[in-house]
């Protein structure tokens, strides 16, 4: 079994494609293997697994954590979603740039976005379940978000009127984040 890097974006975002063995009974694949991740230059110290379920039109994000810093390996296990990562690292040559890709239970892709990237997704199917491995433990005192439709970033979401949480509706812009002293914790 082999995991392979399908593509790289903004220098540090990596799309991973697992090898899938399929027959009349269904399929089998390895989604994480420390030795293969290490050989591909990916992290192997994941500290927390998360699993969310959302309905069509829900947009969650664009979230990040600075204390402790947190990278995420995301995949969709039911349905389809548009996964996004935005570089929010001071001093980065790709600061303020974003990458997005449709990931589904069918294509089985995974997206790695390291610490210093804000991440989010919107659901394209009736229901989607997203699972992600995190390199840090969640801390509500060290997390925040960037406004999903910040014009300075210009994410091209594949939906017009998303269903948002109150928190995501009131998120800060990238410029507000960069003006905050807390952004010094998230450097390139």
Active site residue 132: yes
Kindly compute the dihedral angle of the four CA atoms of residues 87, 13, 94, 151, in this order, to the nearest 10 degrees. Answer: -50
Of residues 9, 32, 51, 132, which has the active-site annotation?
A: 132
Rg, C-alpha atoms of the chain: 16
Residues 6+ apart with CB under 8 A from 102: 80, 81, 82, 83, 124, 158
Of residues 9, 32, 51, 63, which has the active-site annotation?
A: 63
Angle of CA points 23, 128, 74, to nearest 5°: 80
- Of all helices (H) and strands (E), which one includes residue 34? helix 34-39
Phi-psi region of 181 (alpha: psi -120 to 50; beta: other; left: phi over 0): alpha
Other CB atoms within 10 A of residue 139 CB: 12
Catalytic residue IDs: 63, 132
């Amino acid at each position: 079994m082999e995991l392979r890097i399908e593509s790289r974006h903004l220098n540090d975002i990596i799309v991973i494609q697992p090898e899938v063995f399929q027959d009349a009974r269904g399929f089998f694949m390895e989604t994480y293997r420390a030795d293969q991740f290490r050989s591909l230059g990916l992290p192997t110290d994941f500290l927390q697994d998360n699993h969310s379920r959302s309905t069509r039109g829900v947009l969650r994000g664009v979230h990040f954590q600075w204390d402790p810093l947190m990278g995420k390996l995301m995949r969709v296990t039911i349905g389809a979603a548009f996964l996004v990562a935005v570089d929010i690292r001071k001093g980065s040559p790709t600061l303020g740039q974003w990458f997005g890709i449709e990931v589904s239970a069918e294509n089985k892709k995974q997206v790695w976005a390291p610490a210093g990237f804000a991440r989010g997704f919107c659901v394209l199917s009736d229901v989607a379940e997203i699972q992600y491995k995190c390199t840090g433990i969640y801390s509500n005192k060290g997390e925040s978000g960037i406004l999903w439709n910040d014009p300075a970033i210009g994410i091209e979401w594949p939906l017009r009127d998303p269903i948002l949480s109150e928190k995501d509706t009131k998120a800060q812009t990238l410029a507000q984040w960069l003006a905050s002293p807390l952004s010094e914790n998230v450097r390139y």
